[in-house]
Structure 1
């Protein structure tokens, strides 16, 4: 069982590691769960494969000599389990029901004991009769009575350790179920049958038999991991001198009483086991003999035959002579070991057979018919013939039948009612170890869960505290509007932005495992954090940027160069995106246009500060595509003034600007210091190459020049426009010269 517990512990550890490895690798979403599922399946498959190989090796080590017997044992026990499951009285298996093993040498009347036990047992598996005679048990006989299973084990199986171990394995209660249940096994006990005729063979032969069965009992105790009671039944007492005469005149109720002694369970007192147990058995044996001796006063007057009176008197004395042999046998049989669980002697009992005269009515034999001289094929019946054919009357005859004495109440009144002794086997050390292991695993899992919960709580608390600290810092230092935010203010704003970006990733792909365990607070704090960020983003960056855009729209330049058109177009378009057309925020020139009008960005030459500002506008641009966190109202007068300025240019400028926007769509602008982080320490180059002027943008622009009719400017920026009125060839030539 230890290998299964170790395997379970290793499997649990592997499953926990397989659960955590995805988080350690920073995987998210479907990839994380796929990895966890694959690793968990591999762990379970590995554990199953290991146990399969382990059992296979154990079977091979058990040898082929017991293969046939083992197969028969399996068949018999499966048949018994099948019948038990199908019955309404049990609906269980042998392993989950109380069981009593009946052991003994061949010829010790084990099967006869069950047949005459008074239980009226039902045979579940095995063979009892060979014709009209009781057959010797070949492998097993499995019986069921009084919600208890009786397993009669043949001497051949009990003599073979491997076969006996197989019986124990197949009938052993489940430790896992017991550990999860009440922590108790189904009770187990042993009834050891011993042929009293073997007393004549001497003490040495009895000691050999006792040691052999003692080894089986120790193996059973080791398999169960629990103490269990042993009841010794000395059968065939009728082979002892004077027994038949002593019991011949007992009444039916007297012969059904139990002859024997039930011993209290031995406590763990100091001293030698052999000495103490010998004194205990001898003392109770003497009490039994004294009781039989007292009964002679009552039994002697019942005997009518004078020649049988001495035998009635002598039987208790004859039984007294067996005290030493019986005591030696019982002590050797139940001698304990200090290395584990043990059996204990619960009682010893005697039983034998006496002849009983049965009176029964039978039909008398009919007289033989006399032959009639000269009778042929046909003849006349005579009155004498009719008298001879009358049916004979019934006569009463007597016959001797065997009757088992001192047995019918042993099971019902003693063994099955001995709840204290039977309950001893319910407290298995194996179950306790299994429960401790399960509690240990559960405790380990609880510690892991608590540790993960503590980590999750710490991470979520740090998340909330980070936002709260930044909000508090900004609330103290940021005015209603500013055109010159400090680096500290921008860094606090960047902390909130980074947290919002993480929360968005967690919402999309799932939060890391170190944030979960039922404590994840990101979804709860995100709305407030989102409002907080954009409130301070507007104060620090957006308000001044929009103000600069409006200034440019209200006061357009006096010149009308191509660059003036592009700058005014970009500012007007960007302003409209920040107000009434937020859905157009995916324009690649939007962020550069915002940076161009941002006073904070233009006044600083520090790359770190510029990078922080660029991140804020990029985040704002990404959020603006989905929804505008601010008002959609714009300054219509400034917008119309900007449009009027742009309409002063030829239509080719609008087309050219539309081509630039199209060429830059889906491409990124190039900034040397941003593309190569850390390069600003050696070379400072903050110039931004627009996406339309990169290599791929140039190629897209060349294709667009071939179809200028597709680019007539954006009406939502420029307002309603008129037709260009220029030949396409001329338009292509002018665009190619730009």
Structure 2
């Protein structure tokens, strides 16, 4: 395929095709061409002559190009010969030097004979006929790129060329030792390669030190010769050589002198040639740096051919400044040195000799030693100047042609001099015959950029190809025009017929449409059809097909007619419906929306009063109405079509509907608007215009930072990404509102006379700067009142997120007290937005700072005056700025986040410290509950709740939420843990030992075992131990009933029923364990009071303790329960016995005494520890006074009967 394309697009083939096309066009279209009513190409002879002229012009063009090239070569040869013949004409050869000059002249004569016929292509071969036709091989030696070497004598220019690895086609005639060919070394060397011509100038031309006048004259003559020979492009670049020994031996003064000399030569080149050319700096004799040969000894030929240096970026429009140049040189030298250091380990490993390893090791240091010398030389040579352009330095490259001479060890030399030691001079090295870093430098960098100096052969080749294309295009156009004219005529005829048919259909549709009503959407099909009447499904009139043009296009005429019809439809149908809709809006206006009423009246007046018509304002009102009133079924395409028709209507200029003007409607609206002030209307207009929409909303999510969503929420349910509109922000006020209010106030002030029909305009602010100032201040007052209200509502809406667990509350407290606290960030951001009296950044002056101090003092006084009510001041104090309406409302917030002095933290840091204390408390509580230990006591929640009322929003609510929520959850978690511990340590055992047993269940036949009773209720028992460890510090046992202490109100989450059981257990312990034992015990005294006369004796046996009474002395008898006998039996014996025959009444079990008292009538006395018991046996009664060892009656103990095992707290 590639070969096929090369054949199809071969220049010779294209040339032939072009000639054929041009000839065909002349032959076919020639008879159609007329000039002054004559047809010069009508006859066949005339057309043959015309075709022959075209061919002849092409041949003559080729001959002229070849002749010009040969003439230029002849001038070059003559100029070069003159430079050699001059010394031969001065005198006959007498010395060896003069004989050498004569020999060179003879050899040069032979070279000129070859040069006259030497036409080489880029590949070095003779050009053929294809190269002649396409100009691809026409590179005579004078047309190859020319480069000039300049540098001081002995800089290594010639050596670099000899070992460059380039191919010299003339070597077959002159030998490999003399391939440089022309001009002696006294003047310059000419090197002819197959890619370029290299001019090696004598070093004395550069320095001009030997004979200044002679050298300067020869130099200028040499430049003139080049300019004359190659006027368009004398040279393609300059290779400037600097030798390493010269750099090492240079002093600052010599460096500046050399740089000045090189700049002078390059300045002379620029002036003589009138072009800017690239300069390549070659650092030659790099092998004289100690260690060079050893360091690169392992490189094969391919690697030695690579480039060791750096190239600057090519941007002629933006040259490097001095600072950028220095930085770039330093950076590139750093990179080269880094490459050397990176290669060092491998070279050291590959070399075994100590001397070689030492040399390799030191080479990077040798290179580093020459760096500052080279950088200084480059900066001095290529420094920027206001009086002259800096040469186009393309790069700096290190080379080595042959490794001869004695290396220079600058590092050891400096060290030896510093130590006062003598250093031996190493013997000179023999030549290695190798070259380093030259070949690719010339072929891939220098020669590759031959076009940088100006025009080149590529331009000529492109110009030649363009001409061939032009010939082909002329032929193609000639043939194509004839074909397209025919096609265009046929298609235009069919197109006109289609448009005529569409016009008839549109005319019928217009006849059936009325202008009444306000429905515009129904007009869209008709308007679109008429607007695009000149277009058909096959043809777009705005973009007609090319085949229908060529002077025959009829669409422009048809489109002009369609446009006229469309404009008439807009006036007759579209405009009346618009006017009716605007009037309908004006009639629907209400006093509740004064802004809408004003704009509706303004639109109505603009439409009916051409003098006040503003197309942009009218369009804005109509589009706004469409956005609000059009049904949702009307899609975006239909809305866009309506907008286009509106633009077309308004583009015609002032429009006026043929509808009656309703004066009564105007008067009604004006009377309605009289109730609102101009300031209110200005403020409403500002908001309607979307002022401040370019500034982002102030949101909690953005102001609080990335953790804000973890701790904050909105009580209103609004998302954190919604907040205060940009209009009510610091930037919105200073950068948008203040500018908009002035413009809008001026606009409305100008509109007021004709919109509201004000005849007496003396009170209007228009034209009165003072009145305009008062108006804008009134508008600002309305705005700032809204500003303060909106921000107050926003801050009051911020809440702490509800935490579902103690760990989440701990996390919230940790985030809030962190250094990047969202609460602090939100407060600081809110303070900035609510401090409107401050100047925007960059606008603060000394006077502003003084006013800030005064304002701070004023804020402190305001805090004292108004107390804790932030809404008390809603107006502006005399002499204060309007912004104080907002600033004073949020004084507390600003004072909290503002440092009181230099180096002092803001007060909010103390608040964060309190929150951190709460975090510490919650964290410790959480850990203690996880380990099932008692949490440490802390007053942090109480301090937080006490601090909260003194804080401004949003901090006040945040502290209250955190204090109540966190502490409550801590106690709730504690209650859950305590309930689990209670169930494990008490409830399970209690239910087994007490539930359903006597005396807790008086109807139960099962008794509580005394040991179990003691385990539960004894001092140090389960109830006492649990209470002392977990509840005692928080319970006020002096209250009846027991209650939690007020200082730990959050602990009230423990159920009162659970606490009541512990209180009952304490009562039971106080009654039954007064002696401190582990088993229940009572000490009673029975004193007889009276006995029924029918009873002769009464005997009570309590576990072996016998009480007998037979109407004798009333002596009290002590009874211990339980008795010492351990019979667990209580019996009663009466004499005489009951009539039923039962002599004894017996009660058994550990609680037998209590079962007996349940059968007795027990009456209290004034002394709680004394009570009267009555034994009633078949109506015969005996009364005793019983004294217990407790004020609580153990036999009628309510806490004992009400006690139940607690299941949870």
Q: Determine if the TM-score, normalized by the shorter chain, exceeds 0.5.
A: no
Higher relative contact order (CA 8 A, sep 6+): 1
User: Which TM-score bucket, shorter chain as reference?
Assistant: 0.3 to 0.5
